[in-house]
Amino acid sequence: MTLLGGSLTDILNTYQPPHPETSEKKDLSQQTIILVVDGLHNLPDDLQFNGTLAELANLSHGGFRLVCVTSAFRDRIETALKPSRRLRIYLPIEPLNPPTIRDEHGNSIAAFHDKTPLGQLLVRDCGGHGRALEILWNLIKGKDLKSTNLKEIMHDLKAKLTSYYPMVFRVRTEEKEAIVRAAFVHPLLYASDPLSGTGKTPDELCAPGLVWFEEDETATGYGRLKVAYICIWAMANSLRDPILRNWSFDDYSTLLEKVNEAIKPSWEEFKRFNIRFRCLKSQIFEKGKLLTLTELHYGAKITGDIAFRNRHLTPSKAIHHTDTHTNICNKTQWLVTSLEAPILQSPVNEVHQYKLYSGQRNIREAEYQKERQKAASSTDFFILYTTQEHSGNISLPQNSALVCQDNWDRYYGSFAGRAFIYGSGVGGK
């Protein structure tokens, strides 16, 4: 039931709801009835907000056994309601899983029956948003994805979605940049505090469903934003950052080649993806901003931390072989005359290593140690990327990090699915 038309005061004063027992002509003591009031929003003040919910709750005494109200604003409800002995249960609104539908014979089937890595990726890029999933289903139903122009389909999806939600995409550039930055950086946000650069709280940003507020398990009221890939793509086109603006978000044709059985996925593609992803992260932060590696590599399993001044990076290819395992340039003291002074010999390197272990499930501690000793010195920061899992009790040396299946989603966020296709050619978990 959605309350439409007229002011809330007029509706409350004039509407007389029919009694369920009269309409159904059944003994309500033998029935389980659930009333769902969908989309309760735009209430003018806390008094009417509290009064409306109280009246809805009173229906439970007139035959309804359970009253459920959905609202885009969680924090507003908690602060507006008056104290009461009534049981209040707040159910989080989670991203939707792909639905099931009925076929022509009445059988329940998956709406998205293509379970290939690329088919799952298309669904995943919708971020669990109901409208996006509906548009995607209409665009690909009855089609063979291997012989379909997926790039064109996803462009159509993006265009239709932006037309449905102009309040999300037709906003100031500063607001878009703040949302995209939060999606990459994962700062800890308070639910009722406005996100810097937007003037909107996380609750307000999450209202259309393309952005989700994932509560932190250790800090009540705090959480991080998760943004659907299709939403990041739509916003990035108008951003000032050249790397984000020119990023190949519509890489579906390339990914289709990676999952084609006749073409073996190249591990080099995964390396190139991570290089571009690391450069992209550097552009998200302000130039010269003091960062820690735990902020930059949020989601990875990290031991130790290093603070540094951020630099905006661009990909470069080494002409000659460069040995990253060296102590020649490492010193206990380093003289820097100014923030912009050129540093030809850095005291600490950030070294990445990418490893695909065939025929085994877990990455072992001895194997990690071997890769670190081979690629980095004892004082460098070393991070290993692998599509394997880890056993949970692996102990990392100081200034070391690990990205694997166990933390893949947290590290790559909206890019997790395509990162896994580049990394293994078998799709994400």
Q: Any idea where the domains of the chain sit in the sequence? A: 8-80, 94-254, 264-318+347-429
pLDDT of residue 79: 62
Residue with the larger pLDDT of the pair 15 and 330: 15
pLDDT of residue 178: 86
pLDDT of residue 429: 38
pLDDT of residue 426: 43
Q: Which of 81-90, 308-317, 337-346 has the highest mean pLDDT?
A: 308-317
Helix 229-236 with 117-125: angle, nearest 10 deg? 60
Q: Say if residue 45's pLDDT is above 60.
A: no
Residue with the larger pLDDT of the pair 34 and 190: 190
**How large is the average pLDDT for residues 93-111?**
83
SS3 (DSSP) at 262: coil
pLDDT of residue 46: 60
The band of 2, judged by pLDDT with boundaries at 50, 70 and 90, is very low
Sign of CA dihedral 255, 319, 243, 312: positive
Residue with the larger pLDDT of the pair 291 and 27: 291
pLDDT of residue 161: 92
pLDDT of residue 1: 39
The band of 24, judged by pLDDT with boundaries at 50, 70 and 90, is low
Q: What does the pLDDT look like over 159-184, one tens digit per residue?
A: 999 998 887 788 888 888 888 888 88
In angstroms, the CA 413 to CA 405 distance is: 13
Q: What does the pLDDT look like over 112-163, one tens digit per residue?
A: 888 888 888 899 999 888 889 999 999 998 888 888 889 999 999 999 999 9
pLDDT of residue 329: 55
Q: 168-182, 249-263, 271-285, 393-407: which has the minimum mean pLDDT? A: 249-263
Burial class (CB within 10 angstroms; exposed 0-12, middle 13-18, buried 19+) of 300: buried
pLDDT of residue 82: 65
